[in-house]
Structure 1
Amino acid sequence: MTELTYAEVGATGGPLPSGYHHVRAERVIGYGRIAFEQAADALLCGAVQRRVGAIVRLSQTPVRVGTRFDMRLGPFGIPCLVVWAERGDEHAGFAYGSLPRHPECGEERFELTLAPTGEVTFTITAFSRPGRWFTRLAWPLNRMVQKRMTERYLRTLDS
């Protein structure tokens, strides 16, 4: 994974690294096994990003470690590589990291959890910093855009 533009690969699964902007957000999106399975199917095939308007190309579906995850949102190409992926009975998700030409530098993790109570929770964890000249120039605006995108992502899997 030497193409990645950051050194802290996998850090969205633990303490987030310093020197980055951090995001942690979650939402209960449904209840029960069926809601969890449907959300996991959608999540692992890129539906979250498609449902917010991104054009998504995956090198393989469902995503797994090593999947190339190329997105386009408006004029921006957003190349990523999946660095973690899992699908179990109560937990599913993946994380992708930024590749060269990505507007930012960092990692974003999308996780689903089925609790013993039946609640299905969708959690997003990320760390990032500007990766290109235009994102350095517009850093405060980027934070607002990232906040809005995180909110939109969290609503895409509601059952």
Structure 2
Amino acid sequence: MRRGSFRDETVDYAAVGATQAPDLMQYPPERSIPATESWRIGSGETRFQSAGEALLAWRAQRDGGLVVSDVRPAAGPMYSGVSFDHEGHPIAPSRLEADQRFDADGTPWVSAGTTIRLHGRAGGMKADAELRVIFAIEEPRRVGFALGTVGDSVVSGEESFVLEWHDNDEVWFTVRAFDAPVALLYRLLPPLVRRRRRALFQGYLRAISPLYTTSS
């Protein structure tokens, strides 16, 4: 997949990074609907590493039934972007990245500042959007990133994807999001926002977890 030219767009919402707030579910950004789910997807270092590589190669989206296109890494030196500790406090970037990594088809991996186009449907509802990678995390036991809407979406907000390898050897995958309705239908019928979000979450789980079954 060819890399498009980078355009310096900004996200279309104010609460950047709020998916990492510990009280997201109690105090979501104004007019938004929050959601969070965590799943145990296995155990051990091998499972953590393979899931982390899949996550950073956009497999949650691509194998979850969506199409990722027009991947445009940030211009200039690569950086890890804004990161957050377990209590949701921002911390300094952990490292610089000298080399951009690519998937087998030439698609750049996740990196902070990258902008992408997403196409597809979730639960029969539109999932098209232009999105920006808000932050990217690569730590010995924690890998993830967050996507924020730039435009062309029926909702405005952010979703984060985090894998953690716990001290008890379990590997957990957590997705958190907040969606503010933009399209008229979603403003009139907020339950559609929740239905769309549930469908997206299930797609991400199917893509990342080898333990997933339709009955879970």
* Alignment TM-score, normalising by the size of structure 2: 0.68
**Contact 1:92/1:112 (<8 A) preserved:** yes
Task: Give the partner amino acid of 1:6.
Answer: Y
- Partner Cα separation in structure 1 for residue 158 and residue 134 of structure 2: 9
Task: Give the partner amino acid of 2:181.
Answer: P
Instruction: Name the residue aligned to 2:3.
Output: none
Instruction: Name the residue aligned to 2:48.
Output: 36
Which residue, out of 39, 43, 67, partners 2:114?
Answer: 67
Q: What 5-or-longer segments of structure 2 have no aligned partner?
A: 1-7, 74-107, 211-216
Instruction: Name the residue aligned to 1:56.
Output: 68
Task: Give the partner amino acid of 1:59.
Answer: R
Q: 1:134 to 1:3 in 2, by over 3 A?
A: farther
More strand per residue? 1
| 1:154 and 2:180 correspond | no
User: 1:107 aligns to what SS in structure 2?
Assistant: strand
Q: Deviations over 1:109-159 (max 9, x none)?
A: 000000111111000111111122343244322311211221231232124
The Cα of 1:105 is off from its aligned counterpart by 0.6
Q: Deviations over 1:24-79 (max 9, x none)?
A: 10000111001001001010111001112111122243211101121101465211
Which residue, out of 2, 8, 16, partners 1:9?
Answer: 16
- Partner Cα separation in structure 2 for residue 136 and residue 47 of structure 1: 30
Aligned length: 159
Task: Give the partner amino acid of 1:22.
Answer: P
**Contact 2:39/2:174 (<8 A) preserved:** yes
User: 1:156 aligns to what SS in structure 2?
Assistant: helix
- Partner Cα separation in structure 2 for residue 48 and residue 76 of structure 1: 14
Q: 1:104 to 1:116 in 2, by over 3 A?
A: same
User: 1:102 aligns to what SS in structure 2?
Assistant: coil
Superposed counterparts of 1:59-98, under 5 Å: 59-60=72-73, 61-74=108-121, 76-98=127-149
What's the C-alpha RMSD, in Å, of the aligned pairs?
Answer: 1.8
Q: What 5-or-longer segments of structure 1 have no aligned partner?
A: none
Percent of aligned pairs sharing the same letter? 31
- Partner Cα separation in structure 2 for residue 76 and residue 37 of structure 1: 28
**Contact 2:179/2:193 (<8 A) preserved:** no
**Contact 2:129/2:151 (<8 A) preserved:** no
More helix per residue? 1
